[in-house]
Structure 1
């Protein structure tokens, strides 16, 4: 499944890295362009429902001028698109943070949107919506026109069923990635997952409630590629959740996870960082198994990587694991990520920029003034954009309110 934002007319003002490398069925793009022209709108976007029928995944858009990789995954029932998917009825709203989850629409100056479900006789395929940059009342004729196009979109999109191991791994991976809650306790969260163009890896993130009001935050990466790495990832994710219910100490949780991978997963290795924040949410306890430390941006300070004890990755041998306790100031924003974000080739420069340089770039894009959704969008747009993704990227941003 490809995801991209198609520039209207790529020219001198569109840098090479902004031109999409992935391709979308031209007939699908033509239908979206027809929708924008018939309804006289400035944007059009298509989101497809995942295999579980619980989440809408950004698929393709016209007119947003930013990579749709930076767009939000939307849970069915939440926000503008999620309500359409749940009710299977058209909906029009004025764009605000309260009505529309995706920050790219607001960033593009879209003022109001009209959306319809994309349906076949058997199932929901997704949601198609158009956006206008001025205040507008969409009428019955607009709904009829958009529904007509959505019917034709459904025929094309429904035919694109997974046929290769890459697609199977992607389906599994996305089915295991949670739609992060916009608020959990005194924390706001948002996440992104950008799959590799080639072989997928075993990247994952997780956010979950703990007994007593705590919040568990996870970022992990299974060594390897393809469906085998995705399968191991799924097992580790489930096991970590179970151990997190049994042990308050993050280091103890990773010790148990390490024991599990060494006993049950032959020749499998993984890096994981597991953090716990408990009421009143002013401190964070972190244990890292060879994973990149989270970045922190707090009011009045420069962004920096947290000083976390680095223990060996999982699967190597039995080690004593450590936990680091750090302050989490009010208004601070945390960024967890996998190596696909900071081990990228830069087409404009020879060789590979150092990881430290790329981490500094990511840190410089963090601001405690941002909400997590906007921070995620900026990080993806300003780093990978529509460039070829050699490795998976998982990104989790958390802000203490």
Structure 2
């Protein structure tokens, strides 16, 4: 088992990574079982595909599944309110832990519900997608979407444990795996040029299911995020903001597509990373070769690298309007994560939105 500690003082926890870990859920989750039961929040698709494995592993435990519809639409006030009512109907006590069993939507929704239920109870992340393995399950960001934008209502609420079993990815379709891979590559672009080189050579193995390659890539990505979260848990400085490489552009594209299946979050991040690197190259912050390597790598693994490829025809002005509601905005300025080269991302709060709009119009 690979174990990555998230060092947060008295709120520290471990991320445990191993094939077959789901079958060990009874042992791994034993410290969080109260009164012989465990409440598990999942979505209907995940539960149909993986629920029996989890239930069998928790032999002798009264497993109480609480299911919501699959998809980004479940990150809403309506679903949150219904979930809270259903959890309270189970007479959950503050000392209990809720298990989030699913992808990023389930992790974000369950984490937020746990943060506010009875003024805060514990939860455990058991993520089931590559995207949630390396991104949303670690770091304690929870929340829902509202009309003004993505993840604008939420709370910082750290899990007590994260269990990652790469074998659960075998039920995902290739598109979902590729989308998750974008978040892995992001860590190489942020601060680890050597890891990006490794991904250029081994990315296909990660996507195609090589367990050793997957475990290594997941561990590297999680360790990168854990270091950043430990240094800047609540994004009060610029360190944690680096994790948003590709996201300022990407969230605008997601908003334009209605947070729908037209453009998955990881696909938007891939496209956003390409745009951030290309914008940086145009401003002579990084080399054109670094921007091209980024584009070529994402293209090679089957991810979109242009607005046209993603079917987005909106003008730069429209897309920058979406960016205006970015939750990382401070003093009226949107924070852009730009790059001085692969592995050298930094935060820039001086970017003129008119320049971004013109860039997007040139680089559709």
TM range, normalised to the smaller chain? under 0.3
Higher helix share: 2
Asked which structure has the greater CA Rg, the reply is: 1
**Greater share of residues in strand:** 1
